[in-house]
Amino acid sequence: MKNLKKYFHTSGGVLHAVDDVSFQIQKGKTMGVVGESGCGKSTLGRTILCLNEPTAGEILFHGQDIAGLKKKEMNKIRPKMQMIFQDPYSSLNGRMTVRRLIEEPLIVNKVCKNKQELKERTDQIMETVGLAPRLAMSYPHELDGGRRQRIGIARALVLNPEFVVCDEPVSALDVSIQAQILNLLMDLQEKFGLTYLFITHDLSVVRHISDEIMVMYLGKCVERASFEEIFKNPVHPYTKALLAAIPIPSVESCHKRRELIQGEVTSPVDPKPGCRFAARCPYATEACRQSDIPLKEVAPGHMAACLRV
């Protein structure tokens, strides 16, 4: 992604959902995207897949800019780029059985030559994601959240994609089920060589699965580094506050001082120049409010957008 932007025109002005974001994901790796609700994480994922048409910037997939492709050309690439949606219930058609839901991408893309091949392909992916054959004729409302999400994962992987956007795939699930789905995603990545963009607001989850982490705030990337570096040496005040919010199951941790974020989130509609986090940052100066702060390398492979750093 190079200088990717996605703006929405509203009655109050132009909403900068994703504003000048650049990064790359290596094949077979996972880029975790974190930030609080409304920071543009999901919009970024949908824009990368061209489900939202980008306002500006480039989206390079195997060297080809897919941002400006016509619908017919994009349909040829879509099977290679899939998405696992946040809510496993609302993303599934409640009138279709499990088998029909998983078969649908194969039928739409005309992958299978006959019904026998369609059945074999569906049975194979159900076994891969841990869905029992007895559930094939069940409906989504008859299943729990974990099984529904496995259907969503099966739908995404049945076309043998190379790149998958995981939009908070475990946020609606119980903690025990979360661990199962995360482990499943990691096993599938290792087995098929998948590349993930993993979107979440939970840093403890993103630490478990990501190779690199990007922190977003109001449409901007404020820090990006390997997961070890982010947790060991966070430099942006917003990243530090997010890390401080992770619950620690320890009596001693109750007495540790937390870095709390003060103030209200500023509006992403027609934002003023300067650091988006300046209104809530305890270290902000007048220079922070004068112009946008670019990402700079503060250590090898560690990028941050902060004048203080």
Q: Distances in Å between the alpha carbon of 92 and those of 71, 98, 182?
A: 24, 9, 20
pLDDT digits 0-9 by tens, 243-266: 887 777 766 656 666 667 777 788
Look up tokens 């975790």; give the residue: 32
Which pLDDT tens digits describe the chain residue by residue (309 residues)? Answer: 999 999 999 998 999 999 999 999 999 999 999 998 889 999 999 999 999 999 999 999 999 999 988 989 999 999 999 999 888 788 899 999 999 999 999 999 998 999 999 999 999 999 999 999 999 999 999 998 889 999 999 999 999 999 999 998 888 778 888 888 899 999 999 999 999 999 998 888 888 899 999 999 999 999 999 999 999 999 999 999 888 877 777 666 566 666 677 777 888 899 989 999 998 888 889 999 998 899 999 999 999 999 988
Question: Which residues, 6+ apart, have CB-to-CB distance to 114 below 8 Å?
Answer: none
Strand order across the 13-21 sheet: 13-21, 2-10, 56-58
How far apart, in whole angstroms, are the C-alpha atoms of residue 65 and residue 57? 9
Angle (CA) 78 227 186, round 5°: 50
Roughly how many angstroms between the first and final C-alpha of the chain, as a whole number?
A: 25
pTM beyond cutoff 0.85 = yes
How far apart, in whole angstroms, are the C-alpha atoms of residue 39 and residue 201? 10
